[in-house]
Amino acid sequence: MNIILLGPPGAGKGTQAKLLVDERGMTQLSTGDMLREAKSSGTEMGHRVAEVMNRGELVTDEIVIGLIEEKLDAPHGNGFIFDGFPRTLAQADALGALLARHGQHLDAVIEMQVDDAALVERVTGRYTCANCGAVYHDRIKPAATAGVCDACGATQMVRRADDTEDALKQRLMEYYKKTSPLIGYYYAKGALYSVDGLAEIGIVSAAIRKVLDKT
């Protein structure tokens, strides 16, 4: 089964993707994580990507489609969870073509609906484990022992350079201009399902499970 988690920055895509990986043995493909890896590589491309991401703008279609294309060849267990990809109509078309070339198709696109005010709180309070990527929040989901990852025990937590209110405004602008048209695109293809992303993490996860079980 291949699915897309679609939603604005801070909607909970990464949080839900990690739960699905654990529950269903699916493979998470987060273009944000791949780009952050490129950013920390110290290469010329990494520097260019860092500037764009820190401003809250989208990286070029060519770069992200190339990243996804490389991953589709790798073994993928029980299917892919596309997290943060596609983000433009060109990326959506490219994903359809790439999956078809691999003899695969998309089973569901899950739109996570969250209002903008909640996104500001979620994004500015987020921190992640530098070792395993587990996602936390200062107020909503703090680590059980401050500074220690519940999942792997590592003691280095990091905050993203683009998790500021200013960068978030730009990220939201990009979302509404370039990514939200995908809601209509996938609705027209009969693949769209919407869940209330404002609910508690466990409730969102149950709603997603319900969609996947009937797909």
Q: Which of 80, 109, 110, 122 binds ligand AP5 (CB under 6 A)?
A: 122
Q: How many C-beta atoms lie closer than 10 Å to residue 23's C-beta?
A: 13
CB of 211: closest distance to ligand AP5 in angstroms?
16
For the chain, the residue count is: 215
Q: Which of 3, 4, 11, 81 binds ligand AP5 (CB under 6 A)?
A: 11
Q: Which of 4, 7, 38, 182 binds ligand AP5 (CB under 6 A)?
A: 7
Find the DSSP H helices in the chain.
13-24, 31-39, 44-55, 61-72, 89-101, 116-124, 165-174, 181-188, 201-214
Task: Dig out the tokens for 155 from the structure.
Answer: 């003691």
Report the alpha-carbon distance of residue 41 to residue 7 in Å, rounded.
28
178 is catalytic: no
The answer to whether the beta carbons of residues 63 and 34 sit under 8 Å apart is no
Q: Which of 50, 53, 81, 95 binds ligand AP5 (CB under 6 A)?
A: 53
Task: Find the Cα–Cα–Cα–Cα dihedral 99, 104, 107, 112, rounded to 10°.
Answer: -30
CB of 119: closest distance to ligand AP5 in angstroms?
8
Q: Does 84 contact ligand AP5 by CB under 6 A?
A: yes
Q: What are the distances in angstroms from CA 92 to CA 70, 98, 134?
A: 16, 10, 27
Q: Which of 4, 19, 58, 94 binds ligand AP5 (CB under 6 A)?
A: 58
CB of 137: closest distance to ligand AP5 in angstroms?
3
The answer to whether the beta carbons of residues 179 and 87 sit under 8 Å apart is yes
Q: Does 81 contact ligand AP5 by CB under 6 A?
A: no
Point out which span in 101-109, 131-139, 183-191, 206-214 binds ligand AP5 (CB under 6 A): 131-139
Q: Does 140 contact ligand AP5 by CB under 6 A?
A: yes
Q: How many C-beta atoms lie closer than 10 Å to residue 62's C-beta?
A: 10
CB of 105: closest distance to ligand AP5 in angstroms?
20
Residues lying near ligand AP5 in the complex (CB under 6 A): 7, 9-15, 31-32, 35, 52-53, 56-59, 64, 84-85, 87, 91, 122-123, 125-126, 135-137, 140-141, 162, 171, 199-201, 204
Active site members? 13, 87, 126, 160, 171
